[in-house]
Amino acid sequence: MKKIDSLRPDLPSHYRPRHFSALWRQPLAGWREKLREITEAGRGTGHPAVYFRADDVGAGGRAFNVLCGIFRQFQVPIAMAVVPAWLSSARIQQLFAMAPLGEELWGWHQHGWRHVNWQRAGKKSEFGEQRPFEKQWRDIWQGQLKMKDIFGEKALPVFTPPWNRLSAATVKILQELSFSAVSTTDPLPRNVKPAPSFKNIRVHLDLHTRKSSDPGEDYARLLAELAALIARKEPFGIMVHHQRMTLFAFEFLEELLRILQNDLNSRFLAFEQLLQEEG
């Protein structure tokens, strides 16, 4: 297996993204050994089933190239949540140069329309309770058309709402437009009663938009979250944001994939498989 240095030829040693969590500022002492302890704790609990989702996809670039290189190296699928309005002809060419449409690893699906916050108060959301039904419908529809035009049959009927938030109206619209699933971090709103076949492909672990200012405490929390997920019998999802990944974040991701694949014999699921599974 190649080391991370060979997978990130475009990232210089001083590389840092504009925004990143305190956890990923620099490698923590003993981080690899502590991650390995999770491996030992996970042995004997069966073979974890895990899937990955990459948010805020809309252009190529150095960090996106490295992310694709890591998942290609391990041959692990990752669902690409694409912001349709961000895609120009040049950006489409960039994406396909790094993640060719013919490769089966990339689960292309819709990530809102413009990734704009329309909430006047409260937590950010592009498709929240304060957004009128008609405007939500228009944005989702034009995003769906653009996705189909660019990705063709490779565009999955899955909708990841920006900031992982949506309203009851959003779910109604998605079903009217023949989407089969959403992907969020939380259960659907209580007042939502979708069709039995409509799924929520939930993600359970957020790697890169973490808020804690204490790297040591946050890393311990991250490992505790990961240990609990590895012990699950049900599949679990991990969310990544390549624009927020430092060199340490890439190194951690590579080590995590190595452990899941080689030590825990995990089953890696694509969104397309999750759509086909019953229940």
Domain regions of the chain by residue span: 48-276
Domain 48-276 carries which CATH code? 3.20.20.370
Sign of the dihedral defined by the CA atoms of residues 108, 114, 120, 122, in that order: positive
CA 44 to chain centre: 28
DSSP secondary structure string for all residues of 126-194: SS-TTS-HHHHHHHHHHHHHHHHHHHGGGS-SEE--GGG---HHHHHHHHHTT--EE--SSPPPTT---
CA 118 to chain centre: 22
CA neighbor of 126 nearest in space, from 184, 87, 80, 206: 184
| Residue-level pLDDT, tens digit, the chain, 279 residues | 444 444 555 788 889 999 999 999 999 999 999 999 988 776 666 789 999 999 999 999 999 999 999 999 999 999 999 999 999 999 999 999 999 999 999 999 999 999 999 998 899 999 999 999 999 999 999 999 999 999 999 999 999 999 999 999 999 999 999 999 999 999 998 888 899 999 999 999 999 999 999 999 999 999 999 999 999 889 999 999 999 999 999 999 999 999 999 999 999 999 999 999 865
With beta carbons less than 8 A apart as the criterion, state whether 244 and 211 touch: no
How far apart CA 176 and CA 194 sit, in angstroms, is 11
- pTM for the model stands at 0.94
